[in-house]
Structure 1
Amino acid sequence: MAPFSKYNRNSKTMASQKITTSKAKPLPPGVYTPVITIYDNTPTQQVDLDAMYKHCQYLVNAGCHGLVYLGTNGELAMLNHQERIDIVKMARKAVTDLGIPDYPILAGISAQSVAETIQLAKEAGEAGAAWGLLLPPSYWTKAINPKVLEGYYRDVADASPIPIVIYNYPGVVSGVDLDSDIICALASHPNIVAAKLTCGQVGKAIRVTSRYGPQHMAVYAGSADYLVPSLVGGASGCVVGMGNVFPKTVSRLYDYYKAGRLNEAAALQEKISVAEAACKKSLNSTKWGAWYYILRNLGIESDAGFAMRKPYLSPGEEQKKSALAAFSILEDIEKSMQGREGIFKA
């Protein structure tokens, strides 16, 4: 990477013409599933790598275009360094065993300090991640301003061995929200290649895509319930937690749109938006749904390992019932779909 001082920090000085030059390793387009972390049924809730291996291969076979580990759905904040390394190694082995060693895998590398984040980026790269997903710092919000945020991302990107994907999710970082000016300013860095916008602001996505082509700075929706509007606005895809439950359906929504099958895309978008309400209410619902619809059919008989890590509580019967009520709209659709034709089968 070039020295930090060489990058333009002022988005207002950027050329008004759309920049379409390709960076060294852009993030491929499509639907990415931010994979849940599965635990065993012990008091210490050890990571169940065997179950996660089965889940990983199923998601790939179902047609997901890429996978994200150690994100919000993966409970990054609840995992130690070694667990993070082990999970990424497991994922890379799982896709390699399927005969696709270069399959896109991202890993969350978020931490509060630049020093630890760089360490996590290096560990993730060594373990097999090809890109790093990075939240902004949030520990002392009174001291956080645009200069701090830009400096944080640039410092990490300067030292990271893997390209950085900006992760904007105000709900998990004390309300810190990266606006389009900051994202556009960071787009000048050669090792920052994309942004995942879980803020739900489609207008923000359009402001970025209006200035940069996807090979230079791609934008991904952070939820499937606004995937089609985001694609219309120039987004490259989405990272969607419901992919843990219905990977064929959410991947097919993207495929329909890209193939010009707009009526089918619109109809499926409506159903996905209804079902995704369960995922938005609780990560427990997503995790339990993954067990109910996928993992119990792969030999995982108990749902005990699909609760969030303590101190969070396990889902109660009413929550499970509510999740099933929302998910049911996609159950038959998912069953009717095949894996990715010509490459994968599910």
Structure 2
Amino acid sequence: MTSNIAAKSKPIPPGIYCPVISLYKPTPRQEIDYDASYKFFSHLIRSGIDGLVLAGTTAEAVLLSAEERKELVTVTRKAAVDSGRPHFPVVAGISGQSTVESIRLAEDALSAGADFGLLLPPSYWAKAVTKEAILGFYHDVADATALPIVIYSFPAMCNGIDLNSDTLSELAQHPNIVGVKLTCGNAGKVTRLTQEYTHGQFGVFAGSSDWLLPCLAGNGGGCVTGIANVFPKCVARLYALWNEDKIKEAKELQGLVAQAEKACKEGIAPTKYATGHFAGPSAGVTELKAFWPRKPYLPCDPQKAVWVENVMQHLVKLEQSLPDVV
């Protein structure tokens, strides 16, 4: 069943990608704080992770305007260049409910300096989202832009729309569709797809780091994980241990990362609180309201905040012990 399609002209590099949170000014309208974002992007690039994802779920993409999405890509690219990493991979969320909206977002992202586009399936009218509609949607967007497309499978955020491995395999054959992020948590999709395709043909990524090792064991390419906002060096270290064939150490760290990541699975408010509490000072972003969700969503309540700190505290020492890479 191994595919003989050509490798993609621009495959997505394997590794650990951080879906970056959005940072806001402490004003009534919560405008994007681009200065704070630049500091935070630079901090993540120094940490050793392999790429950044903008305007994804963790970034509250549905609460961002098209102009804000585009400017965040521009700021990210500047942070990468200024950090001495001009070719650092930048993935931009381009998800829209219509084909034309997604194409416009892809064009914006490409012009701002993005390398790849992350694209959810349409989902507003779930009953109308047939397999034919999904295939047509992804093909039309991929045909219309030079930006290589990464499929984003996240049924919980898409009215239950689940992209099965057969559908993903069909989409993988498009020359401008280069990979998939599996936030569905289905390890079976990893092994089925990697049996058919090499990473150069179609990269397969876990949607969180609590199953990074199972994904890598199934020949997956890495993960896109919200906890990388909080402890980027720890997740990068986990990936490095696997690649260095230090399996026992990797398994031990996998468990610790998984325990901490359960806080991120509680929602955007706990994730942003954890980022501000643990990573904000290192990044030079100390305004706590910068880490609040955008209204109408509320910040972490004090009781939940204490729980988040306790759940994640065990990774602090390791994170602080690991060096910057640039």
TM-score class, shorter? over 0.9
The answer (yes or no) to whether the contact 2:40–2:284 under 8 Å persists in 1 is no
Partner of residue 256, structure 1: 241
Give 4+ residue runs of structure 1 displaced > 4 Å after superposition: none
Of residues 93, 97, 101 in structure 2, which corresponds to 1:108?
Answer: 93
Give the letter for the 2:184 counterpart. C
Q: Per-residue deviation at 1:307?
A: 1.1
Does residue 334 in structure 1 map to residue 304 in structure 2?
no
Cα distance between partner residues in 2 of 1:53 and 1:260 = 35
Of residues 46, 50, 56 in structure 2, which corresponds to 1:61?
Answer: 46
- Taking only the aligned residue pairs, the percentage that are identical comes to 43
Give the letter for the 2:101 counterpart. E
What are the residue-to-residue correspondences of 1:11-26 with 2, within 5 Å?
16-19=1-4, 21-26=6-11
SS in 2 for 1:102: coil
User: In the TM superposition, what whole-angstrom CA distance separates every residue of 1:191-221 from its partner, at most 9, and x where no partner exists?
Assistant: 0000000000001111111100000001000
Partner of residue 146, structure 2: 161
Q: Per-residue deviation at 1:314?
A: 1.4
C-alpha change, 1:20 and 1:215, in structure 2 (3 Å) is: farther
The answer (yes or no) to whether the contact 1:61–1:339 under 8 Å persists in 2 is yes
Partner of residue 239, structure 1: 224
Give the letter for the 1:101 counterpart. P
User: In the TM superposition, what whole-angstrom CA distance separates every residue of 1:237-270 from its partner, at most 9, and x where no partner exists?
Assistant: 0000000000000011111101101011000001
Does residue 186 in structure 1 map to residue 186 in structure 2?
no
Partner of residue 309, structure 1: 294
Partner of residue 171, structure 1: 156
SS in 2 for 1:308: coil
What are the residue-to-residue correspondences of 1:107-126 with 2, within 5 Å?
107-126=92-111
Cα distance between partner residues in 2 of 1:301 and 1:67 = 21
Give the letter for the 2:124 counterpart. Y
Partner of residue 37, structure 2: 52
Q: Per-residue deviation at 1:298?
A: 3.8
Give the letter for the 1:70 counterpart. A
Cα distance between partner residues in 1 of 2:287 and 2:33 = 13
Of residues 183, 189, 198 in structure 2, which corresponds to 1:198?
Answer: 183
The answer (yes or no) to whether the contact 1:108–1:133 under 8 Å persists in 2 is yes
SS in 1 for 2:103: helix
Give the letter for the 2:87 counterpart. D
Give the letter for the 2:16 counterpart. V
Cα distance between partner residues in 1 of 2:217 and 2:210 = 13
The answer (yes or no) to whether the contact 2:2–2:195 under 8 Å persists in 1 is no
Q: Per-residue deviation at 1:73?
A: 0.5
Q: Per-residue deviation at 1:61?
A: 0.5
More deviation in 313-322 or 32-41? 313-322
Give the letter for the 1:57 counterpart. S
Partner of residue 144, structure 1: 129
Q: Per-residue deviation at 1:18?
A: 3.8
Partner of residue 208, structure 2: 223
Cα distance between partner residues in 2 of 1:290 and 1:33 = 12
The answer (yes or no) to whether the contact 2:199–2:221 under 8 Å persists in 1 is yes
Q: Per-residue deviation at 1:98?
A: 1.2
Partner of residue 12, structure 1: none
Partner of residue 258, structure 2: 273
Q: Per-residue deviation at 1:60?
A: 0.8
Structure 1: tracts of 5 or more residues without a match: 1-15
Cα distance between partner residues in 2 of 1:338 and 1:301 = 21
Q: Per-residue deviation at 1:99?
A: 1.7
The answer (yes or no) to whether the contact 2:273–2:299 under 8 Å persists in 1 is no
Q: Per-residue deviation at 1:296?
A: 2.6
Give the letter for the 1:115 counterpart. V
Q: Per-residue deviation at 1:20?
A: 6.8
Structure 2: tracts of 5 or more residues without a match: none
More deviation in 285-294 or 152-161? 285-294
The answer (yes or no) to whether the contact 2:40–2:285 under 8 Å persists in 1 is no
User: In the TM superposition, what whole-angstrom CA distance separates every residue of 1:79-121 from its partner, at most 9, and x where no partner exists?
Assistant: 0111111111000011011121111000000001101110000
Partner of residue 71, structure 2: 86
The answer (yes or no) to whether the contact 1:19–1:216 under 8 Å persists in 2 is no
CA RMSD of aligned residues (A): 1.0
SS in 1 for 2:9: coil
Give the letter for the 1:39 counterpart. Y
C-alpha change, 1:297 and 1:259, in structure 2 (3 Å) is: closer
Matched length: 326
Does residue 289 in structure 1 map to residue 270 in structure 2?
no
Cα distance between partner residues in 1 of 2:243 and 2:220 = 12
Q: Per-residue deviation at 1:297?
A: 3.7
